[in-house]
């Protein structure tokens, strides 16, 4: 098999040990490579990942070793490792092959595809990726397809391949899933080469990760790599309401993918929303996918959805379009939408205390994610925000904060910057910790108000990741004194 020529008996260096690094290293060992993992962090920080590595993997921690890189046949950087760091520049100068973790997973599965492997369903965007990816996966499973889910959503694709393939020497024994549903980040797409999803979606593109991509043009270019290899047999789903969508369409090559749109503002070829109803407008769908039954439910009534918020209407439309062109029936799609409760840390309802509802939107790590979350509430809001700034401009929040937010409680490194942006339009309080922020929010909020954690920043100044930040917020809410009301509903967002 071609992948054995690339890796069997070769020295491969994996740069960056976290989840994707573990998955890549263990997969490469099974492909016959001699694998070294290096990371600038120490053993204490990486202990849980070290424990997951194959015993044959050589581990080098504390710094990036140039001598080891010089002996590599291939270097595999984890998605969180910038491609511009000196050790990777050195590899490029020496002509050493660099393959990203997503590309590694894709190439291995493409080789297996010769024996009947899956089609990729890939979703990217600044906000909404995890919810849309999970929702699409649930629709496919509900429709009876054999599918797996992985990527940026929490399960490295390389790790999932290791679970799927019993023996790479006997690929014909590989039992193929029909679909690989994957959330892909701009970091993963930066190193994409041959990656070619059957169906791709770009949900939105708003300023984010400019501390790594430097400019919006670079960030947009990374996102657009999701469709760079697609052809007329593939589909691309785009947000017609996103201001940057025309720029994306300009980058679609002639004889490129079939484009479908979703919109909350106008009728489009694809899916659109108005007055509580999603309508599908794909006249030629029966020609494109004659196996579909497209007239079972011509419209979706969104008041029956478990997930709430206008941004989740967009997520539902994107997932539905991807599911339709993948062979799912309208009935199965609608049935899934009416039962899907969403994801943790994405506009997740925590508890009601003294008539105030607390929501955990810790995944709201950029300004535009917070904009979408604020749009979903009619009630007065006490907003907890702050963390590590990602070179963001907080001014787009000002109009919504002026309209909806009675007070802002700020934490973390970016607290001062956010305060300067909003102090003239709302009440601002500074907090020293998440517990302090929750306590202050309870003092400010009145009956019927919302307390919303939606930070608009990364978490790494105070927490391991957004999951830990959300968990600590929920713990703090659950410790608050007061009368409680139990709500049997989970509201999910980004």
Residues 6+ apart with CB under 8 A from 438: 358, 384, 451, 473, 476, 477, 480
Q: How far, CA to CA in Å, does 144 sit from each of 176, 332, 340, 416?
A: 14, 9, 16, 51
Residues 285 and 169 in one domain: yes
Give pLDDT, residue 418: 94
Residue 491 lies in a domain: no
- Annotate 343-392 with DSSP letters as a single string: -TTSSEEEEEETTEEEEE-TT--SHHHHHHHHHT--S-EEEEE-SB--S-
State the binding site: 125-131
d(CA 118, CA 180): 6
Residue 493 lies in a domain: no
Phi, psi of 311 (to 5 degrees): -65, -30
Give pLDDT, residue 294: 47
Closest by CA to 199, choosing from 258, 285, 270, 277, is 258
Residues 83 and 156 in one domain: no
Residue 343 lies in a domain: no
d(CA 153, CA 183): 6
Q: Is residue 168 a contact partner of residue 8, using CB atoms and an 8 Å limit? A: no
Residues 321 and 390 in one domain: no
Residue 291 lies in a domain: yes
- Other C-beta atoms lying within 10 Å of the C-beta of residue 116: 12
- DSSP letter at 438 equals H
Give pLDDT, residue 295: 46
Number of domains, the chain? 3
Residues 282 and 173 in one domain: yes
Residues 51 and 109 in one domain: no
Beta bridge mates, 34: 11
Residues 6+ apart with CB under 8 A from 471: none
Structural domain harbouring 52: 2-99
Residues 108 and 92 in one domain: no
pLDDT tens track, the chain, 494 positions: 566 678 999 999 999 998 999 999 999 999 999 999 999 999 999 999 999 999 999 999 999 999 999 999 999 999 888 888 999 999 999 999 999 999 999 988 888 766 444 689 999 998 889 899 999 999 999 999 999 999 888 789 999 888 887 666 666 666 678 899 999 988 889 888 999 999 999 999 886 555 555 688 888 999 999 999 999 999 999 999 999 999 999 999 999 999 999 999 999 999 999 989 999 988 766 555 555 444 444 679 898 887 877 888 999 999 999 999 998 988 899 999 998 877 888 888 888 999 999 999 998 888 888 888 898 788 999 999 999 987 778 888 899 999 999 999 999 999 999 999 999 999 999 999 999 999 999 999 999 999 999 999 999 999 989 999 999 999 999 999 998 854 433 333 33
Residues 282 and 198 in one domain: yes
Residues 79 and 213 in one domain: no
Residue 342 lies in a domain: no
DSSP three-state, residue 27? helix
Residues 69 and 153 in one domain: no
What are the start-end ranges of the H helices in 16-85? Answer: 19-30, 47-50, 66-70
- Annotate 273-335 with DSSP letters as a single string: EETTEEEEE-TTHHHH-TT---SS-SEEEGGG-SS-SHHHHHHHHHHHHHHHTTT--HHHHHH
Q: Is residue 427 a contact partner of residue 405, using CB atoms and an 8 Å limit? A: no
Q: Is residue 10 a contact partner of residue 37, using CB atoms and an 8 Å limit? A: no
Q: Is residue 334 a contact partner of residue 359, using CB atoms and an 8 Å limit? A: no
Among 77, 99, 121, the domain-final residue is 99
- Annotate 112-147 with DSSP letters as a single string: HHTTS-PEEEEEE-SSSHHHHHHHHHHHHHHTT--E
Give pLDDT, residue 117: 47
Residues 6+ apart with CB under 8 A from 138: 336, 340
Residue 411 lies in a domain: yes
Residues 368 and 325 in one domain: no
CATH of the domain at 371: 3.90.190.20
Residue 494 lies in a domain: no
> H or E element: which one contains 107?
helix 101-113
State the binding site for ATP: 125-131
Give pLDDT, residue 390: 79
Among 99, 130, 160, the domain-final residue is 99
Q: How far, CA to CA in Å, does 76 sit from each of 61, 91, 100, 110?
A: 16, 11, 5, 18
Among 99, 118, 148, the domain-final residue is 99
Residues 309 and 323 in one domain: yes
Give pLDDT, residue 168: 67
d(CA 355, CA 383): 16
Residue 403 lies in a domain: yes
CATH of the domain at 63: 3.40.50.720
Burial class (CB in 10 A: 0-12, 13-18, 19+), 314: buried
Residues 393 and 331 in one domain: no
- Helix pair 310-324, 129-142: axis angle to 10 deg: 40
């Amino acid at each position: 098999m071609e992948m054995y020529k690339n890796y069997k008996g070769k020295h491969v260096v994996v740069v960056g040990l976290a989840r994707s690094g573990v998955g890549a290293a263990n997969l490469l060992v099974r492909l016959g490579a001699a694998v070294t993992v290096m990371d600038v962090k120490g053993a204490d920080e990486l202990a849980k990942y070290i424990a997951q590595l194959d015993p044959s993997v050589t581990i080098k921690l504390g710094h990036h070793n140039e001598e080891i890189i010089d002996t590599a046949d291939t270097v595999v950087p984890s998605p969180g490792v910038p491609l511009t760091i000196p050790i990777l520049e050195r590899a490029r100068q020496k002509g050493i092959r660099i393959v990203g973790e997503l590309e590694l997973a894709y190439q291995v599965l493409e080789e297996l595809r010769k024996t009947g492997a899956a089609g990729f369903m890939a979703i990217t965007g600044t906000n909404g990726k995890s919810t849309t990816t999970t929702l699409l996966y649930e629709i496919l499973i509900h429709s009876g397809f054999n599918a797996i889910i992985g990527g940026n959503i929490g399960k490295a694709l390389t790790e999932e391949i290791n679970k799927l393939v019993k023996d790479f020497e006997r690929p014909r024994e590989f039992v193929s899933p029909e679909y690989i549903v994957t959330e892909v980040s701009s970091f993963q797409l930066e190193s994409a080469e041959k990656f070619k999803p059957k169906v791709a979606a770009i949900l939105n593109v708003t300023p984010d990760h400019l501390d790594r991509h430097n400019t919006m043009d670079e960030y947009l270019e990374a996102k657009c790599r999701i469709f760079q290899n697609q052809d007329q047999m593939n589909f691309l789903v785009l947000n017609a309401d996103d201001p940057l969508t025309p720029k994306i369409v300009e980058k679609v090559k002639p004889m490129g993918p079939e484009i479908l749109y979703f919109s909350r503002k106008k009728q489009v070829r694809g899916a659109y929303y108005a007055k509580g109803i999603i309508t599908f407008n794909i006249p030629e769908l029966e020609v494109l996918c004659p196996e579909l039954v497209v007239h079972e439910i011509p419209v979706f009534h969104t008041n029956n959805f478990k997930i709430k918020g206008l941004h989740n209407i967009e997520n539902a439309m994107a997932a539905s379009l991807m599911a339709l062109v993948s062979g799912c029936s309208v009935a199965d799609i609608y049935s899934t939408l009416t039962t899907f409760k969403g994801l943790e840390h994405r506009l997740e309802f925590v508890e009601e205390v003294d008539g105030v509802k607390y929501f955990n939107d810790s995944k709201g790590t950029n300004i535009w994610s917070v904009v979408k979350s604020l749009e979903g509430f009619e009630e007065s809001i006490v907003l907890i925000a702050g963390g590590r700034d990602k070179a963001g401009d907080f001014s787009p929040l000002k109009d919504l904060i002026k309209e909806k937010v009675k007070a802002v409680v700020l934490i973390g490194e970016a607290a001062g910057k956010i305060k300067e942006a909003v102090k003239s339009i709302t009440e601002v309080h500074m907090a020293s910790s998440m517990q302090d922020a929750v306590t202050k929010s309870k003092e400010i909020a009145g009956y019927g108000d919302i307390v919303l954690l939606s930070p608009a920043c990364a978490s790494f100044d105070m927490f391991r990741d957004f999951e830990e930040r959300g968990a600590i917020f929920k713990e703090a809410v659950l410790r608050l004194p007061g009368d409680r009301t139990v709500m049997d509903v989970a509201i999910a967002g980004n």
